[in-house]
Structure 1
Amino acid sequence: MSFPVLSKRIVPLTVLLALSLPVAWAAPAPAPIPSELLGNWSITQIIPTQTVGCWDEKQAQQLIGNNISYKAGSFTWNNQTLRNLGVTSSTVEAQEFVEDNSGENSYVDFPVLGISTPSVQRVIIQHQEVSVPGITDQGSEGIPGDNVLVKDPDTLILSQCGVWFEAQRQKK
């Protein structure tokens, strides 16, 4: 029985390929949560809007006083730390916002939310799926704080189940 002879050129290529595969398959680290969000925030109020939501007043009130804490690699809501699996940060124009968030029986725009600028930054944080009774089982869009509008350096706007909230940066 004879064995094929490997060329001296093929062996180094084979070794190089084998050594590079783990690097090629390694997922890149997710982008960090933007510095504008880093720190501690408290949900302070429900913003009155003309939107149809899946929560009543009592359910919405449960978020008032809840805290959200952002670090570069994670955020914490209601004592649950969620690892940052990826961040999308984009600019949202006023008209685009109305088109995306208003419908047949609902209307919300920047002035209703207290936003006086023509555009704002939207930050969406991907994280592992979690089940939170009263939140994720009520048709909510996600976890409070994983999708926010940056109104100004000390104010975030977020929506849960069609109800809009304001969060204020906690001063040290």
Structure 2
Amino acid sequence: MSPDVIVIGTGVIGAAIAFELAKQGRRVLSLDRNAQAGHGSTSGSCAIVRMHYSTFDGTAFAWEGYHYWRDWADYLGLPAGSDLARFREVGCLVMKTEANGQLEKHKTFSAELGCPFEELTAEQVQARLPICDLASFAPARRLDDPAFGQPNGRRMGGAVC
């Protein structure tokens, strides 16, 4: 029996495409140059679900995707109580920096989409996460730079979660 579709790549994108095609009843063959599914760039992912993007489309796409991840076991059609696909909502804290425009775009896009977020001052971040160092280290430096790892004398102004 020959496949209807051949998907090249078994990372998160290729696997998602193959899954959707299979749900439609197509016979799918997935191929990858790596030894196992999920190797390559997918294996380097931090595997978080976040909505902190600098474009409206990126934020909207992530917000929509969040609802699939939240109900992931149902989406996959797993039996009730299955422990194969758990989604743990633990939150996400992104520091406001000059480089990310103090997350102004993200806050605007999130508000337009009805995506909840909370803005925190530096003091609120410190109160919630006393272990968090709010020293600023920008701009990024190379490992061989003598100033690598040295703070620049400024502090982060807050965060969005």
TM-score by length of 2: 0.18
**TM norm structure 1:** 0.18
Q: Which has the higher contact order (CA 8 A, sep 6+)?
A: 1
Higher helix fraction (1 or 2): 2
Q: Which has the higher strand share?
A: 1
